[in-house]
Structure 1
């Protein structure tokens, strides 16, 4: 879902650097951006774009920019265990994104890169009646991020750019077909560093 440039920047930002890479700029106006900058979701290209402070303000309201760009929120909410088995996704590290058109997609890492599935929207709606927090998610820009790999039990509502950062961590650390010895500790560290915020 992210363009090569945005994904590359997210991979760089997942390395824990203290400042932005030289030349890292806003995808709209080319102004330099700090490491902790906002993102816009480009609805036409289904990609995340970097945004400087002034450009992010332009897209902060409902309907701003004609709906082409949507400001990715910063809200993170840790949830109790959400039973996602009925959604039919056969992996333990995955994120679910409700879309503005009513569909729901699931995405997760694999040895061949990111995998994507369409989830039964009716089953998703049933899940939101059991877990009302899911119904509050903003389409396209928030996701349910789940990690049940190796007995873990993480369920978060997060900005979609957090999901792309998680994919970047996996992509950076993955070795061979099974991921190797570095990927799962890196994923655990990623989840350990998530903090709730409104």
Structure 2
């Protein structure tokens, strides 16, 4: 499934969880998957895949799948305040994904999906010096998720599928040209529902 396909499934799931859960299958073996299920990141296609429990176990090791597939971890860590303005991204709701080649991309939600920017490596390294946990973010499959809109101060290390769930919330709630009044309460609920996980 492409990242856009993953996003479409997440939007459906958010709108109608029971129906979406019945329809979803593992992208590797076609077995049914639960509403809460694991994802793999396909490094060749640069896309997310839904996987069932048994298939996810096959890719749990760092060398599994010859590096082609990477299991998206479940870890969530809430971070203290970070000065993410140094990264040069002009939006307050954004996630930063370090890549295997050392680059960093920033993505922010829009009614059409995720917008993407390239981030200079040096500011990212400087930010990581102020917050050592950032140095441990797994490339491609974990992200720094930020929400500083309306004076909020949320900074999390999360699995990338959490980021696409957040993008799905924005797309689902967007109304008209400006987005309407439903988006920000829904985004705030999304962040309130995040819980730390080892």
TM-score normalised to the size of structure 2?
A: 0.95
CA deviations 1:33-73 (Å, max 9, x no partner) are: 01111000111111111000111011100121011110000
Q: 1:99, CA displacement in angstroms?
A: 0.5
* Distance in 2 separating the partners of 1:115 and 1:87: 16
Asked if 1:141 corresponds to 2:141, the answer is yes
2:109 — aligned with what? 109
Seen in structure 2, the aligned counterparts of structure 1 residues 10 and 158 have a Cα distance that, compared at 3 Å, is same
Shifted more, 111-120 versus 144-153: the winner is: 111-120
**Cross-structure match for 2:23:** 23
1:98: Cα distance to partner? 0.4
82-91 or 15-24, which moves further after superposition? 15-24
Map of 1:99 onto structure 2: 99
* Deviation readout 1:9-55 (Å, 9 max, x if unpaired): 11123347357532210011100001111000111111111000111
The DSSP-based 3-state class of the residue aligned with 1:14 is helix
Give the Å deviation of 1:138: 0.5
Residue 166 (structure 2) aligns with = 166
Distance, in Å, in 1 between the alignment partners of 2:4 and 2:82 is 32
Residue 140 of structure 1, CA deviation: 0.4
Contact 1:19-1:34 at 8 Å conserved across structures = no
1:124 alignment partner in structure 2: 124
Cα distance in 2, alignment partners of residues 66 and 130 from structure 1: 34
Deviates more, 1:149-158 or 1:7-16: 7-16
Partner residue of 2:195? Answer: 195
Deviation at residue 81 of structure 1 after TM alignment: 0.7
Contact 1:3 1:48 in 2 (8 A): yes
Contact 2:110 2:167 in 1 (8 A): no
Please say if residues 42 and 70 of structure 2, whose CA atoms lie closer than 8 Å, have aligned partners that are also in contact. yes
Runs of 4 or more above 6 Å deviation? none
- Superposition RMSD in Å: 1.6
Structure 1 runs not aligned, ≥5 long: none
